[in-house]
Structure 1
Amino acid sequence: MARKKKIDMEIVNHNAAGIDVGSKSHFAAVGQSLDDVKEFGVYAEDLVELCEWLLSYGITTVAIESTGDYWQNLYVELQKHDIEVVLCNGKFTKNAKGKKTDVKDSRWIQKLHSLGLLSGSFLPDETTEILRTYCRQRANWIDMASSASHKMAKYLKFLNFRLDVVVNDICGLTGMKIIADICNGNLDPYSLAEHRHYNCRKPKEEIAKALHGNNRQDYLFGLKQEFDSYNYFQKKIKACDKEIEKLIKKEIRKNPDKQKLETTEKPYKRINKNAVDIKNFNQIAFQYFGGVDLMAIEGVSHATVMSIMSEVGIDGFKKFKSAKEFCSWLRLAPNNKISGGKMLSNRIPKGSGRLKIALRHSANGIGNLKDTHMSNFFNRIAYRKGRQAAVSATARKLATVIWTMVTKNVPYNPPTEYLFLDQKRKMGMAKRIKKQMAKFDIKPDEIGIGNSLTPNYNF
């Protein structure tokens, strides 16, 4: 009879444990026997007891699954006890053989971690984590405010107040004043039309014509409730803005050299109404990244830079060894599957984090620009593969550029320089004049212009 062969695998982490995280209890395993597994509660004293039990076995590293939000308190407590924590994705630990139990899961995690088969997820530093909490809470309030504005528009239509026809945004200056006056009981269309802002394209007469409603009390009650909710959400957004600004400036003050840094103004960067309300954000972002001007990249807006600051942070970029690794983490790089020397699939993996979405928004905006390095790249991809593929490719290029700028502290220096509108007109006029002079063989001296005064343009 043939003898069964055993394959011994080298143990990489000798003092390793595995914890199966749950909502009401955690199962910790320090070995593969049943006596090496113990159940602990989720209260604060239970977490301390779990850490002390691990230390009694000489455990120095622990692997846990990122199950919901239940792992966070346990992660903090393990860090306090100087235990290295590997936070791994659940899809890498779900292939245990046989019936699934909490005891078996904890032993399986411990075995994989001992053999060095688990890789840790990205976790930001403490400052970035705090900033991330503020920004994500702010994003929740923005979603609620958006929902309230949609409901206001619905009630206005029910009342036959067609404010959406005469103004571009019902939550703009004109729209909010009119809605506030309606909620205060003023239903006279001509009086409401007096709130027209001078920038509004429609005249007062047309606005008044759109505000002849049916004045149903139930719809007026619903409109007032949604208007109050919208104003409440706006107050919460401003409170988040203050906390975000306070934290960022506190970090800048820690390094006096950063406070001395100054960058150029960028008046061509439009500020979205949902962007964080921080005065001179361009200058503050430049100081926060230690002299790296991310706003110099075309298509990168205030919201994009804020997403980079809150989702990755300065120290977070250093955790990625290369730009390819950073793009892979963002799920912007193709997931090549090769078998038998044949490419089976090269699709981009599913899943969109907040930073990936922000970069894709920036890439989509780049597609609307003209005569820039990024927009030329976008148009080449879009011509061959379509706009959707161009957005993904440009987002990946943006991620590569940002990683290189932050980690290597280099400025953005594209082959094609971005020009303002007046600079483009000036260059175009000079080009036309030069072409006409060449056509009629006119030399600068013949029209009283010396060679020293001839502008030096590269065409």
Structure 2
Amino acid sequence: MQKYLRLLNLRLDVVVNDITGLAIIDTICKGEKNPETLAALRNGNCRKSATEIAKALHSNGRTDYLFALHQEYDIYKSLQQKIQQCGASIEELIKSFINADENKKKLKTDAKPHKRVNKNAPQNFDLNQIAYQYFNGIDLMAVEGVGHSTIIALMSEVGVDGLKKFDTAKWFARWLRLSTNNRVSGGRVLSHKIPKGSNRLKIALRNAANAISNLKDTHLSNFFKRIAFRRGRAAAISATARKLAIIIRDMVVKAIPYSPPAQYEFLDQKRKRKVLEMKRLIHKFNITTHDLGLQL
């Protein structure tokens, strides 16, 4: 449609970022040529004024291009109808799974108006409520960055039963190809690159990680910024996507809510880790206080 609009000298792409409002295109296909009449159909949220839009809508009147635009518009409407039918089928399938369990039917969650529903997400059902019931009362939408597309990808690619087949969250991240594949020979690490390959869930998690980068002062956004500062944005997206995969798997399998730490205590964490390492060494080599030269 944008191609034939340009050929008709209707430069909507210059003055409008998203043409899927379609009121102007629908009127053009019906034969309207007056720029002012067309510009008056602009969305109320449009930043450009009607006068500015009218300047970009002086058609050259080519009937062959208008016919082709009408054909593309009909195809677009047909595809949108198919997408709506697909959304209705998804809703029916998920609800049949939920209705088979009386405990799931009773579960209710809070509305999340801050989770925006974009134009590509299912419009005809409340995915927030359905996901809460589907995952047995685990509110995955509480995780920052996780949106409707992430939930749909998780349901369609693995589901609840699929997540439980992974013994650990690390194995789940490795299956998604978000973890490094260490090649070791003779005790020496030859390489530790992330394997190539992708799937829909990995793409959805990386998109969620990219959205997290725009948040301010949250657990995952701070993690993203620390990695990006040291290793760059590409590495930060992969690392955050892996962290999301681990969080989601543990929440579903272990039935625990999302509870990010309010603050970091790096020195205490390092101290605890070092103490555990020393205890293991002492136990392994049977080290005594006499060996260490300590006097108690």
Segments of 5+ residues of structure 1 without an aligned counterpart are: 1-151, 418-459
Larger radius of gyration: 1
Q: Does 1:167 align with 2:13?
A: no
Partner of 1:258: 104
**Pairing of 1:204-353 with structure 2 (within 5 A):** 204-353=50-199
Residue 25 of structure 2 corresponds to residue 179 of structure 1:
yes
Q: Which residue of 1 aligns with 2:288?
A: none
Partner secondary structure for residue 189 of structure 2 = strand
Give the 3-state SS of the residue equivalent to 1:206 in structure 2. helix
Alignment match, 1:103? none
After superposition, residues 375-390 of structure 1 pair within 5 angstroms as 375-390=221-236
Among candidates 184, 204, 213, match of residue 367 of structure 1: 213
Cα offsets for 1:108-143 (capped at 9, x unmatched): xxxxxxxxxxxxxxxxxxxxxxxxxxxxxxxxxxxx
Name which of 16, 27, 38 aligns with 1:192. 38
Which is helix-richer, 1 or 2? 2
Could you list the per-position Cα deviations for residues 18-44 of structure 1 after superposition, in whole angstroms to 9, with x for gaps in the alignment? xxxxxxxxxxxxxxxxxxxxxxxxxxx
**1:154 pairs with 2:3:** yes
Name the CA shift for 1:314/1:219 in 2 (closer, same or farther; >3 Å).
same
**What are structure 2's unaligned runs of at least 5 residues?**
264-296
Q: Which amino acid aligns with 1:265?
A: A
Question: 1:190 is aligned with what amino acid?
Answer: E
Tell me the equivalent position of 1:421. none
For residue 336 of structure 1, give the secondary structure of its aligned residue in structure 2: strand
String of CA shifts for 1:367-410, please: whole Å, max 9, x gaps. Answer: 11110000111111111100000000000000000010000111
The answer for the alignment partner of 1:29 in structure 2 is none
Following superposition, the deviation at residue 342 of structure 1 comes to: 2.4
Deviation at 1:194, TM superposition (A): 2.1
Please give the secondary structure, in 1, of the residue aligned with 2:181: coil
The one of the two structures with greater contact order (alpha-carbon pairs below 8 A, sep at least 6) is: 2
Could you tell me the TM-score, scaled by structure 1's length? 0.56
For residues 114-133 of structure 1, what are the structure 2 equivalents within 5 Å? none
Whole-Å separation in 1 of the counterparts to 2:199 and 2:25: 36
Q: Which digits, 9 at most, give the CA deviation of each residue in 1:137-162, with x for residues without a partner?
A: xxxxxxxxxxxxxxx11111111101
Structure-2 separation of matches of 1:187 and 1:264 = 48
Q: Which residue of 2 aligns with 1:398?
A: 244
**2:206 partner SS:** helix
CA offsets per residue over residues 256-315 of structure 1, 9 Å max, x none? 111111112211111111012243211111011110100000000000001001100111
Secondary structure, counterpart of 1:160 in structure 2: coil
Distance 1:217 1:237 in 2: 30
Cα distance in 2, alignment partners of residues 181 and 160 from structure 1: 16
What secondary structure, in the 3-state scheme, does the structure 2 residue paired with 1:292 have?
A: coil
The TM-score, its normalising length taken from structure 2, stands at 0.86
Task: Indicate the SS of the match to 1:263.
Answer: coil
After superposition, the C-alpha distances for 1:327-369 in whole angstroms (9 at most, x for unaligned) are: 1111111011122332221110000010000000001111111
CA distance in 2, matches of 1:204, 1:278: 32
Shift of 1:186: 1.1
C-alpha separation between the residues in 2 aligned to 1:226 and 1:292? Answer: 43
Tell me the secondary structure at the aligned position of residue 393 of structure 1. Answer: helix
> By how many angstroms is 1:206 displaced?
1.5
Structure 2 letter corresponding to 1:164: D
Match of 2:252, as an amino acid? V
1:155 to 1:416, Cα distance in 2 relative to 1, 3 A: farther
Deviation at 1:416, TM superposition (A): 3.2
- Counterpart CA distance in 2 for 1:389 and 1:185 is 51
In 1, the alpha carbon distance for the partners of 2:116 and 2:188 equals: 47
Please tell me the root mean square deviation across aligned C-alpha atoms, in Å: 1.2
